Amino acid sequence: MGFNVAQKIIKKHLAEGRMKKGKTVALRIDQTLTQDATGTMAYLQFEAMGVPKVKTELSVSYVDHNTLQTGFENADDHRYLQSVASKHGIYFSRPGNGICHQVHLERFGAPGKTLLGSDSHTPTGGGIGMMAMGAGGLDVALAMAGQPFRIVMPEVVEVRLTGKLQPWVSAKDIILELLRRETVKGGVNKVYEYTGEGVESLSVPERATITNMGAELGATTSIFPSDNVTKQFMKAQGRVEDYSRLKADPSATYDKTVEIDLGSLEPMIAKPHMPDNVVKLSELEGTKVQQVAIGSCTNSSYRDLMTVAGALKGKTVHPGVSLGIAPGSKQVMNMLALNGALADMVAAGARILESTCGPCIGMGQSPSTDAVSLRTFNRNFIGRSGTQSAQVHLVSPEVAIAAAISGEISDPRKLGEYPVIKTPKKFLVDDNMILAPAENGSKVEILRGPNIAPCPTKEPLEEMLEGEVILKVDDNITTDHIMPAGAKILPLRSNVPKISEHVFVSVDPEFPARAKAKGGGFIVGGSNYGQGSSREHAALAPMYLGVKAVITKSFARIHLANLTNFGIIPLTFVNEGDYDKIDQGDQLEMNTKSIKKTMTLKNKTKGESYQLTHTLDPRAVDIIKAGGSLAYAKANMSA
């Protein structure tokens, strides 16, 4: 039996385990990336391991999230990140050089390599044929220290693309259609692999748009084959030597096949407040729009913004719309500036933003009260934009620009001739904003600001867990619910005691104070708990507040790993109906002297007992018992 693309990369990088679905496998990691919202904590954890230099082929530290500097905190973090990168053998992408996923695709990604990033949209690299996965910062720190990364051996879902996209229909519509079918929890422990004749018609930036938003499916990753399209892209980036051909064997099999006829697709839109709340654009035509934002790691490539500039040329943004555009990298910004496209966008009335994540994580450009905002981003969770009442929709650049011109949701196919953009034969390559590490890291001084606090640790697991249900929540709780982002909270990422004051405040403003007063306790949740961003602070800060266990119907992959990493037991109900029997305020207890596959939870308030289970392998159980991955790793490194 032959192998598909995902299986080939897993097989080549297998460090431990067997390639059997549902079993844990450990993979050697070739490359890592971090960004500044997660990086500071990841490097504090790496420092705590005492490893002098990263052991990966390549590690890159990007600054692209916390660039709004309204105080000293973000600037201090950037200074720390630059110094720690220089000392420990890590490349440093300076503020202004671009969004990590866009820059990594341009300058570092290579087919067949494994990439682990402390950002959930790291699967963007799948557009170039990488096994690129998002993880918590501690998992990335461990990978930099030479440890393999563990995942559940995934099912591989074939997404067979046939036909060719019609003008004004784009790659964003492909992934929105897949989200409509598969939902935000349909991809847990799955890899989505794209095949079929339709693949050849998609450029690398288009493929990267699709793999980027595969994160919204809850997938382990998404991947395209590496073919002549890939080769031409890498040649245009001056990196053809990094190219290698990678495709599925003729006899490869898949666990499931989804077919999408590209020719029959039409413009799609994700309504508030979930990426899978997708309908045909025609259902919302005529809705007035107050804001349009174009950019993010999903749709900020040269191709995307040349399409936008072409549609805007000679026109003016509607007087009722604020249009913000953020090129994804310095390379994109420079090329737009030199060929006149940037001038066309400015002349039309666009506001040109930094080459950063910006509005996507609530870092500026918040919409007005009750505004309808169309964004080419990947998430539209309630409040993520910085405005709780905003109605954020996810769309393609084509749909976004049609709304910016007309002032309402309208079909871009009415704009006339489609500005077809070809991949340049040669991109403008200038890596002057990427700093190589010092040749002798021992001489580099690490610079720490007063907001940078040590990473808190947890004591080994107690033999009996007792406490109150300090919060009960519904299905599809995101990491934005647990640990909000935005311009006010993101600067506190380096200071867990401070940022812990904001845990779950969008759900229950009293939660942080109650957790402290009760000495911690239990959280009870519904299905798909912890979906969304990879932010480990959604586990780290609750751990600091004393959360002992999280009990749900089901977990999102990365958050499950993050809870384990910080010594919080992730448990699920054997009988999901038991979720309804537990109320906030109930007193619970559980014997954890031995973590068995099935465990009994006692509700002392109601005099009831419930059966719980987990997906932890023996190593993960040992991590929980040790008080988390950092304590476990240090003990094993010492041994």
Active site residues: 64-65, 119, 379, 533, 535
Phi first, then psi, for residue 244 (nearest 5°) are: -145, 145
Task: Give the H or E element holding residue 75.
Answer: helix 72-88
Distances (CA, A) of 391 to 326, 340, 387, 616: 20, 33, 9, 38
Angle (nearest 5°) at CA 358 between 357 and 360: 70
What is the arrangement of strands in the sheet containing 24-27, beginning at the earlier edge strand?
14-16, 24-27, 149-152
> Cα 279 to chain center, whole Å?
23
Phi first, then psi, for residue 535 (nearest 5°) are: -50, 115
Report how far residue 62's alpha carbon sits from residue 33's, in angstroms, rounded to the nearest whole number. 7
Angle (nearest 5°) at CA 41 between 375 and 190: 55
Report how far residue 472's alpha carbon sits from residue 582's, in angstroms, rounded to the nearest whole number. 8
Please return the burial class of 338, using the count of CB atoms within 10 Å of its CB with bins 0-12, 13-18 and 19+. Answer: exposed
Angle (nearest 5°) at CA 200 between 173 and 257: 65
Report how far residue 16's alpha carbon sits from residue 117's, in angstroms, rounded to the nearest whole number. 21
Which of 552, 579, 583, 592 has its CA nearest to residue 466?
592
Report how far residue 244's alpha carbon sits from residue 204's, in angstroms, rounded to the nearest whole number. 14
Handedness of CA 528, 533, 536, 541 (dihedral sign): negative
Distances (CA, A) of 416 to 167, 286, 321, 374, 612: 10, 18, 21, 21, 58
What one-character DSSP code corresponds to residue 202? S
Q: Tokens 């909270």 sit at which residue? A: 489
Phi first, then psi, for residue 516 (nearest 5°) are: -65, -45
Structural tokens at position 259: 């077919």
Query: Residue ranges of the alpha helices (H) in 384-448?
Result: 397-406
Phi first, then psi, for residue 518 (nearest 5°) are: -85, -5
Task: Give the H or E element holding residue 109.
Answer: none
What one-character DSSP code corresponds to residue 445? P
Task: Give the H or E element holding residue 123.
Answer: none
Task: Say how many residues make up the chain.
Answer: 639
| E strand intervals along 2-125 | 14-16, 24-27, 31-35, 58-62, 91-93, 114-117
Query: Residue ranges of the alpha helices (H) in 147-194?
Result: 171-182
Which of 350, 394, 345 has its CA nearest to residue 374?
394
Which of 333, 435, 588 has its CA nearest to residue 60?
435
